[in-house]
């Protein structure tokens, strides 16, 4: 009989602990917890793919081009992305980051600049529309313009890549 009571108490205790655990986990993972999460808009970057290109045929130097998805909200981020894209078409004594110039990325920048009220909006749109039309002939000036806006000290463009 004692053994029967002992086993009954142990089984009831295990069932009680199980029920408490189940209710606790369910309330922890319930809807009320999940709906409290709020997302604040910030600049988001996500590296999608890296690829190598020849920067100069004779030296066979390789650089890494990052295809980056941006959700742009601030003027500084627009300048930075334009600068990183311009790095792919110019020769400079030092360049750190390269982002491929792609049509959808240029169109995204045009949209962002159009929404802005920046003083140099017209100049940025002029430069970006040239890129949209595959005209990179003013790349040195375009690079150095945004480079200066970003406080550039090292890495001034000196020529277009051939």
Q: Could you tell me if 21 and 98 lie in one domain? A: no
Q: Tell whether 29 and 92 lie within a shared domain.
A: no
The pLDDT confidence band at residue 40, using thresholds 50, 70 and 90, is very low
The answer on 105 and 54 residing in a single domain is yes
Residue 80 in domain: yes
Both tokens assigned to 9: 């108490």
Domain shared by 23 and 80, yes or no? no
Q: Which of 12-16, 29-33, 65-69, 91-95 shows the highest mean pLDDT?
A: 91-95
155 within some domain: yes
Gap between the Cα atoms of 88 and 127, Å rounded: 15
Average pLDDT along the chain = 75
> Are both 8 and 66 inside the same structural domain?
no
CB of 65 within 8 A of CB of 103?
no
For 89, the token pair is: 């078409």
Instruction: Please state the domain count of the chain.
Output: 2
pLDDT digits (tens, 9 = 90+) for 72-102: 568 888 999 999 999 999 998 887 888 899 9
| Residue range of the domain that includes 100 | 44-160
Indicate yes or no: pTM above 0.75: no
Average of pLDDT values for 116-140? 95
CA distance 95 to 66: 14
Task: Supply the angle between the helices 121-132 and 139-149 in degrees, to the nearest 10.
Answer: 140
Choose among 100, 96, 86: nearest CA to 158: 86
Q: What are the phi and psi torsion angles at 145 (to 5°)?
A: -65, -55
* Residue 149 is assigned to a structural domain of this protein: yes
> Both tokens of residue 123?
């100049």
Distances (CA, A) of 8 to 1, 55, 87, 103: 11, 78, 76, 73
Q: Calculate mean pLDDT across residues 119-137.
A: 96
Same domain for 70 and 8: no
- Grade residue 142 by pLDDT with cuts at 50, 70 and 90: very high
Average pLDDT over residues 126-141: 96
């Amino acid at each position: 009989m004692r053994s029967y009571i002992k086993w009954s108490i142990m089984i009831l205790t295990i069932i009680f602990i199980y029920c408490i655990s189940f209710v606790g986990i369910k309330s922890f993972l319930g809807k009320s917890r999940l709906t409290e999460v709020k997302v604040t808009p910030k600049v988001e970057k996500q590296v999608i793919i890296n690829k190598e290109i020849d920067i100069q045929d004779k030296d066979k130097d390789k650089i890494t081009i990052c295809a980056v998805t941006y959700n742009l909200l601030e003027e500084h981020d627009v300048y930075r992305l334009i600068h990183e894209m311009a790095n792919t078409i110019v020769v400079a004594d030092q360049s750190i980051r390269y982002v491929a110039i792609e049509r959808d990325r240029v169109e995204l920048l045009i949209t962002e600049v159009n929404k802005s009220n920046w003083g140099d909006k017209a100049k940025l749109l002029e430069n970006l529309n040239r890129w949209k039309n595959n005209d990179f002939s003013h790349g040195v000036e375009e690079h150095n313009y945004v480079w200066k806006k970003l406080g550039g000290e090292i890495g001034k463009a000196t020529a277009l890549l051939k």
